């Protein structure tokens, strides 16, 4: 980008009073056009109004064109707006600003910056609005150099005292990580500006500076809904769900009313924690406090219910929402796929297409995931091919990952390797991990070791890789080598993510680690586990000791297995909830084979439905079998 030149005036060769129409008729037409533009709701109506503008000789009227561009911007019709703009003979600063804003809201900030550059080249004088807009674009684009130039122009034109300009300057520097500059602008602003503080704390959150953000938050005297929401969202984004929920409670204690955005953030926290009861409470809150069930809130609810294990309630919300967009469908499709309802997910995808909605790349992640969980190889390929062919969506690494999972889990390991070779993007640890997992399932030691080597040599091996490799080796009885792999993992400083399961009882989340002894009711829990073990044994259950990762003595192996965290969580559920009620457990890792077969039996003998969310998907255990059909 070149250096911006500060312009003096805007010379328009068509003075507005040189109208071809008669004086009265022209201005009457114009008034009518303005009122029609204000009522305009879609592109088709807009095109009609434009036709009339041309017929009445108003096609270059800057005021009318400004309204037109703003409408396009609101509807995210940036291509249409750009086309109109190219036909404007002498666009003024208002029209430039409108189009720059359009580019920003459609996510192409770089185009916005270029457009500003063009405006400067055309010697059109800047005003505070356009400066604020282009600074916003620079902030999103992390265009530090360009933004500094804009800042320089603003100083020259003495526009830097304008509040909007200052807010945007702060946002721009903050987003770019230039905190010293951001702080300087912030310090020069009047004290107690809640908006300025919200911008500052949001910028800190973007850069993971959560404590700095919280420090700013606590210093704001008059915190409003948006400020509270920004902070709650910050905790959620930084993985601190409990702090987010505590802050939400505190917000209500201070009688600040949540809005739609707040609810979406809190629901996201519930989803991640698996806090169904709390999520239900937030849902009832939506009804009680007239929070609009808009697309954001609807999707967040659907997603919360699916991710908390209650697909039925997710579907109820989906049905209740008559006005659905792509993301509403995506949430439901992803939910169905997660729960192993492959056919339903694919049918919903087809219904969505039939409705005239254009699937997005996330839609395909959901649908391909459904194929993968359902073992639907042919259909998976068909959908994968149609992505590019019918929807012009280039597959991303996530889509390739689903395909490799789908192909290799069916045992077509060779084909999976060929597929990886043909991929247009470099395979990541998830793609190789899927293949490695399939090697374990299908007992292909040779390929498994090769794949693991690729991961380790490529420096993309995480703890999961090492664990999987050690599992592959252990399941072939190669205990020594398995132990060596684990030693190597410790050596390279990679820690095993500790297995952790949680269960919500009476609005409280109880967490359990492997062999956890911290819970106040640990004695009852372990007593329950012992009792279950005796019954299970009489039912013919014998622990699958080869699943244990370490090469240890038989007796020890069984003990180590018996206390996988999900077992503790389930036992706690059994002793604290009503007989016959569903038990829902969330786990951060995948369920092992042995736990899987044990939980099937527990469900049978206790006559309970047990729902387990693992790293990848849901398992619904009922009467001795699991919804995944032992295929996960």
Partner DNA sequence: CTAGGGTTAG
**CB nearer DNA, residue 405 or residue 566:** 405
Beta-carbon count within 10 A of 200 CB: 26
Which tokens belong to 483? 């132990």
Quick one: which of 29, 101, 344, 566 contacts DNA (CB under 7 A)? 101
Helix (H, G, I), strand (E, B) or coil at 577: coil
Q: Is 259 exposed, middle or buried (0-12, 13-18, 19+ CB in 10 A)?
A: middle
C-alpha closest to that of 434 among 410, 456, 457, 458: 410
| Cα dihedral 221/226/227/230 (nearest 10) | 170
**58's tokens:** 């108003």
Q: Which is nearer to DNA, 271 or 444 (CB)?
A: 271
363 binds DNA (CB under 7 A): yes
State yes or no: residue 109 binds DNA (CB under 7 A): no
Under the criterion CB under 7 A, does residue 224 sit at the interface with DNA? yes
Is 188 in a helix, a strand, or coil?
Answer: coil
Residues 199-218 that bind DNA (CB under 7 A): 199, 202
Rule CB under 7 A: is residue 458 a binding residue for DNA? no
Decide: is 225 part of the binding site for DNA (CB under 7 A). yes
Task: Count residues near DNA (CB under 7 A).
Answer: 57
- Whose Cβ is closer to DNA: residue 338's or residue 438's? 338
Applying CB under 7 A, which part among 97-105, 114-122, 391-399, 585-593 lies near DNA? 97-105
- Taking the C-alpha atoms of residue 47 and residue 44, their distance in angstroms, rounded to an integer, is 5
> Tokens standing for 460?
């993309």
**If binding is defined by CB under 7 A, does position 94 make contact with DNA?**
yes
| Element spanning 604, H or E | helix 593-606
How far apart CA 234 and CA 228 sit, in angstroms, is 10
Tell me whether residue 360 or residue 533 sits nearer to DNA (CB atom).
Answer: 360
- Report if residue 136 touches DNA, rule: CB under 7 A: yes
Q: Which residue of 325, 428, 524, 546 would you call a contact of DNA, by CB under 7 A?
A: 325
Side-chain half-sphere exposure of 288, counting CA atoms within 13 A: 9
Which parts of 490-529 interact with DNA (CB under 7 A)?
none
Strands 610-613 and 583-587 come out as: parallel
**Please, which residue, 321 or 599, has the CB nearer to DNA?**
321
Residue whose token pair is 């192993």 = 340
In the set 21, 26, 52, 66, which binds DNA (CB under 7 A)? 66
167 is a contact residue toward DNA (CB under 7 A): yes
Verify binding: residue 342, DNA, rule CB under 7 A: no
Contact range with DNA by CB under 7 A, out of 323-331, 436-444, 527-535, 566-574 = 323-331
Q: How far is the CB of 499 from DNA (least distance, A)?
A: 24
Q: Is 177 exposed, middle or buried (0-12, 13-18, 19+ CB in 10 A)?
A: middle
H-helix segments, 339-428: 342-354, 361-374, 377-391, 397-409, 413-422
CB of 226 to DNA, least distance (A): 4
Interaction of residue 571 with DNA, rule CB under 7 A: no
| Sole binder of DNA in the list 50, 56, 77, 97 (CB under 7 A) | 97
Compare residues 348 and 467 and give the one whose CB is closer to DNA: 348
CB of 165 to DNA, least distance (A): 11
Q: Can you tell me the distance from the alpha carbon of 202 to that of 199, in angstroms, rounded to the nearest whole number?
A: 5
Q: Does 268 bind DNA (CB under 7 A)?
A: yes
Instruction: Write out the two tokens for 619.
Output: 């398992």
Which residues on neighbouring strands pair with residue 503, listed in sequence order?
510, 585
Closer CB to DNA, 56 or 92, in the complex: 92
In this chain, which of 19, 106, 262, 310 binds DNA, going by CB under 7 A?
A: 262
Residues 6+ positions from 618 with CB-CB distance below 8 Å: 309, 311, 338, 339, 340, 611, 612, 627
> Per CB under 7 A, does 16 bind DNA?
yes
Which of 56, 77, 153, 229 forms a contact with DNA (CB under 7 A)?
A: 229
Asked if 164 is part of the footprint of DNA (rule: CB under 7 A), the reply reads: yes
CA 394 to chain CA centroid, Å, is 19
Q: Spell out where 202-332 has E strands.
A: none
In the region spanning residues 270 to 289, those forming contacts with DNA, defined by CB under 7 A, are 271
- Enumerate the H helices of 56-106 as residue ranges: 62-74, 78-86, 93-105
The answer to whether residue 233 forms part of the interface with DNA (CB under 7 A) is yes
Among 241, 265, 406, 416, binds DNA (CB under 7 A): 265
Structure tokens at 333: 């499709």
Q: Which of 299, 315, 342, 597 binds DNA (CB under 7 A)?
A: 299
Among 19, 330, 434, 471, binds DNA (CB under 7 A): 330
Q: Considering only CA atoms, which of 615, 609, 525 is closest in space to residue 563?
A: 525
Taking the complex as a whole, the smallest distance from the CB of residue 397 to DNA amounts, in Å, to 16
- CB 546 to DNA: min, Å: 36
**What would the two tokens of residue 580 be?**
């016959």
Cα–Cα nearest to 94, from 71, 125, 57? 125
Half-sphere CA count of 212, side-chain side, radius 13 A: 14
**Residue whose structure tokens are 């255990």:** 621
Closest contact distance (angstroms) between CB of 195 and DNA is: 3
Residues making contact with DNA (CB under 7 A): 16, 62-63, 66, 70, 92-94, 97, 101, 104-105, 127, 129-130, 133, 136, 164, 167, 171, 193-195, 198-199, 202, 224-227, 229-230, 233, 259-262, 264-265, 268, 271, 295-297, 299-300, 303, 325-327, 330-331, 334, 360, 362-363, 366
């Amino acid at each position: 980008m070149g250096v911006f030149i500060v312009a003096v005036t805007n010379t328009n060769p068509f003075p507005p009073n040189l109208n071809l129409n008669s004086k009265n008729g022209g201005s009457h037409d114009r008034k009518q056009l303005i009122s029609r533009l204000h009522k305009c709701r879609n592109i088709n109506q807009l095109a009609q109004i434009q036709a009339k503008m041309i017929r009445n000789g108003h096609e270059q009227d800057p005021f009318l064109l400004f309204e037109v561009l703003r409408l396009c911007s609101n509807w995210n019709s940036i291509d249409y707006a750009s086309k109109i703009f190219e036909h404007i003979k002498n666009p003024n600063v208002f029209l430039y600003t409108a189009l720059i804003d359009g580019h920003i809201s459609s996510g192409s900030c770089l185009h916005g910056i270029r457009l500003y550059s063009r405006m400067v080249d055309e010697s059109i004088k800047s005003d505070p609005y356009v400066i604020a807009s282009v600074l916003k674009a620079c902030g999103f684009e992390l265009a530090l150099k360009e933004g500094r130039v804009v800042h320089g122009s603003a100083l020259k034109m003495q526009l830097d005292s304008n509040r909007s300009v200052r807010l945007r300057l702060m946002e721009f520097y903050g987003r770019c990580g230039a905190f010293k500059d951001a702080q300087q602008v912030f310090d020069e602003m009047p004290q107690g500006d809640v908006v300025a503080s919200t911008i500052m704390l949001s910028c800190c959150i973007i850069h993971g500076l959560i404590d700095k953000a919280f420090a700013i938050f606590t210093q704001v005297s008059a915190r409003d809904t948006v400020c509270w929401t920004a902070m709650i969202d910050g905790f959620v984004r930084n993985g601190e769900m409990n702090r987010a929920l505590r802050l939400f409670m505190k917000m209500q204690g201070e009688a600040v009313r949540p809005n739609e955005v707040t609810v979406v953030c809190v629901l996201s926290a519930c989803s991640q924690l698996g806090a169904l009861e709390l999520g239900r409470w937030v849902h009832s809150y939506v009804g009680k406090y007239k929070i609009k069930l808009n697309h954001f809130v609807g999707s967040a609810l659907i997603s919360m219910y699916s991710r908390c294990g209650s697909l039925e309630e997710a579907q109820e919300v989906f049905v209740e929402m008559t006005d659905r967009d792509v993301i509403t469908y995506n949430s439901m499709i992803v939910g169905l796929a997660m729960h192993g309802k492959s056919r339903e997910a694919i049918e919903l995808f087809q219904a969505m297409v039939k409705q005239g909605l254009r699937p997005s790349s996330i839609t395909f992640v959901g649908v391909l995931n459904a194929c993968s969980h359902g073992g639907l190889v042919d259909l998976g390929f068909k959908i994968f091919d149609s992505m590019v062919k019918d929807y012009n969506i280039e597959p991303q690494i996530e889509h390739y990952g689903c395909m490799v999972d789908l192909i290799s889990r069916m045992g077509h390991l060779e084909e999976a390797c060929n597929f990886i070779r043909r991929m247009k993007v470099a395979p990541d640890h998830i793609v190789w991990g899927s293949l490695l997992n399939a090697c374990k399932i299908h007992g292909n030691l040779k390929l498994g070791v090769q794949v693991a080597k690729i991961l380790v040599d490529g420096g993309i091996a995480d703890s999961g890789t090492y664990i999987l490799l050690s599992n592959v080796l252990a399941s072939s009885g190669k205990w020594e080598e398995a132990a060596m792999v684990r030693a190597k993992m410790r050596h390279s400083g990679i820690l095993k993510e500790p297995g952790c399961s949680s269960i919500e009882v009476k609005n409280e989340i109880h967490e359990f680690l492997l062999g956890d002894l911290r819970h106040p009711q640990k004695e009852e829990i372990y007593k329950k586990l012992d009792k279950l073990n005796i019954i299970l044994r009489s039912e013919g259950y014998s622990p699958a000791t080869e699943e244990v990762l370490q090469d240890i003595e038989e007796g020890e192996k069984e003990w180590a297995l018996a206390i996988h965290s999900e077992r503790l969580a389930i036992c706690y559920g059994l002793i604290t909830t009503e007989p016959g009620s569903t038990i829902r457990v969330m786990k951060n890792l995948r369920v092992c084979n042995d736990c899987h077969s044990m939980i099937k039996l527990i469900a049978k003998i206790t006559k309970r439905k047990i729902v387990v969310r693992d790293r990848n998907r849901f398992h619904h255990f009922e009467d001795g079998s699991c919804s995944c059909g032992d295929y996960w």
